Structure 1
Amino acid sequence: MKRRHRRAPKPATEPLPQPVLIERMADGGQGVTHLDGKLCFVAGALTGERVEAAWLNRHASYDEAITTAVLHASTERVTPPCAAYERCGGCVLQHQAPDAQARDKQAQLAEKLERLGNVAPDAWLAPVRGPAWHYRRRARLGVRHVPKKGGVLVGFRERRSSFLTDMTACPVLDARLSDLIAPLRTLIGSLSIAAQVPQLEVTATDDDVLLVMRHLAPLSDADRAALTAFAAE
C-alpha cells in the first residue's frame, strides 16, 4: 500500500508590497481587499483594519493572503478564548466579536439575495441567536497516533494542513464534547489498535452523547472491554 505523505502547514510566501485596508468580510471569514485592482482575501483580518500580509496563493482572478501584522485594529477585534486558535482549522472568526459576526453574516445574505435573486427584504427580523461558545453539537474529529507528541491526538486539523491540532478542549464544541477530548486521547492510546483509528464522529443530543469510532483493524477483547467501560462512565 502506498504511504500517503502528510501535508505540513502551508507557509506564507513573500509579503504583499504594501499594507492593505480591509473593505468587508467574505463568507469564509477572510477580510476582502484589492491590491492593484485585484481581489485579495486576507485571513485573520477584519473590516476597517489596516494590515500587513503575505501571499498564500495566487490565482488568475484573485489572491489569498494571511495577516502578518495588524497596524490599525478594529474595535471589534477580541482575544480568542482558545489557546489553539492560531493553529486550529476548526473555526476562523474567534478574533471577531460575536455581535459583529452576526451583522456581517446578515450583510452577506443581503448581498446574495440582491445579486443572485434581485430581491431585497422590506425589513430584517432580529437574528436568531444562540450561545457564543459551546454551541456546536456535532463534529468529525481526526485521530492520529503521534509518539513524538506523547501518544494520540484527537481534534480538528490545523489550518492549511493535514496535521492534527494538539488540543485537549474546544470552546466551540458543546461542553460535553469538549470535555471528552482529553479522555478520548487517553482511551484510544490504550487500545491495541491505537495507530489504526483515523476518525471519530461525536454528537451531543439534549440527553445523550453519541460517539462513532472508525477503526481500520479488528478490536481485541481488551479493546472492547475498555470501550464498554468508557461508555458506562
Structure 2
Amino acid sequence: MAQFFKAKRTNSAKNHIIKDVHVEKVDHQGRGIAYFKNSPLFIEGGLVGESLDIQIVENKKNYSTGVIKKVNRASVMRVAPTCPHYEECGGCQLQHLAQDNQIAIKLEGLQSLFKRFAKHQPLQLAQPIIDDAWGYRRTARFGVQFDNKSKKLKMGFRRSASNDLIEQRVCPVLVPS
C-alpha cells in the first residue's frame, strides 16, 4: 500500500509561552526546575522562588526546557552579572548569583548526585575550597574559526548553546595576565 501523505507530528508546546511559572528548585547544573504538565521544566537562569514567563524551546517525553522571557518576581538571590558577555557567552552559568549562593548550589548538586547515583548520602564532605570570585581561572578553551566573508581568522568563546564565536575583549574569571 502506498502512502502519499503523512501528517507531520506537531509539538504543540514547543515555542509556547507559559506565564507565571514558579521555580521550585535548582538542579546540579544551576538550572531552575519548575513543573509543566506534571513533568520537569528546566529553565536556564531560573532561581528558587521566582515567578517567570517562559518560552518552551524543547519538549521531550519526560521533560521540557525553556528560556526566560520575563522575570515577574525575582529571587532575593539574583544579582547583576559582572561580565558584560554573560548573556551570550557559554562559559559561566551562575554569575546571576552571588559567590556564596553559587557555592551552596554546587554543593547541593554534588550531594544530590551522590544520593541519586551512588544510592547513599555522603558521610561528610570537606569544606569547599574558596578563592576570589574573579580572576581565578588559569586556563580556558577558545574556539577558532575562519570567516569566509571577511577572510579573517576569528578566536573567542562559544556562544551559549551554539558553535558560533562571540567577540569579547575581557573575561572576568580569567587571570588578567
Aligned residues: 164
Q: Which amino acid aligns with 1:102?
A: I
SS, match of residue 34 in structure 1: strand
- Aligned-pair distance for 1:145? 4.3
Identity of aligned residues (%): 32
CA RMSD of aligned residues (A): 2.2
Specify which structure has the higher proportion of helix: 1
1:66 has 2:58 as partner: no
- 1:111 maps to which residue? 112
For structure 1, the residue ranges without an aligned partner over 5 or more in a row are 1-12, 177-233
SS, match of residue 61 in structure 2: coil
CA distance in 1, matches of 2:92, 2:127: 24
Contact 1:79 1:95 in 2 (8 A): yes
Contact 2:28 2:113 in 1 (8 A): no
Contact 1:81 1:171 in 2 (8 A): yes
- 1:39 maps to which residue? 40
SS, match of residue 19 in structure 2: coil
For structure 2, the residue ranges without an aligned partner over 5 or more in a row are 1-13
CA distance in 2, matches of 1:83, 1:30: 21
Q: TM-score, normalised by structure 2?
A: 0.82
Cα deviations across residues 70-102 of structure 1 (Å, max 9, x unaligned)?
Answer: 111111111111111111111111111111111
Q: TM-score, normalised by structure 1?
A: 0.64
Cα deviations across residues 108-161 of structure 1 (Å, max 9, x unaligned)?
Answer: 122222223333345454321112112221111012344878955321111122
Distance change (3 Å), C-alpha of 1:134 and 1:69: same
Which protein is bigger by CA-based radius of gyration?
1
- 2:168 maps to which residue? 167
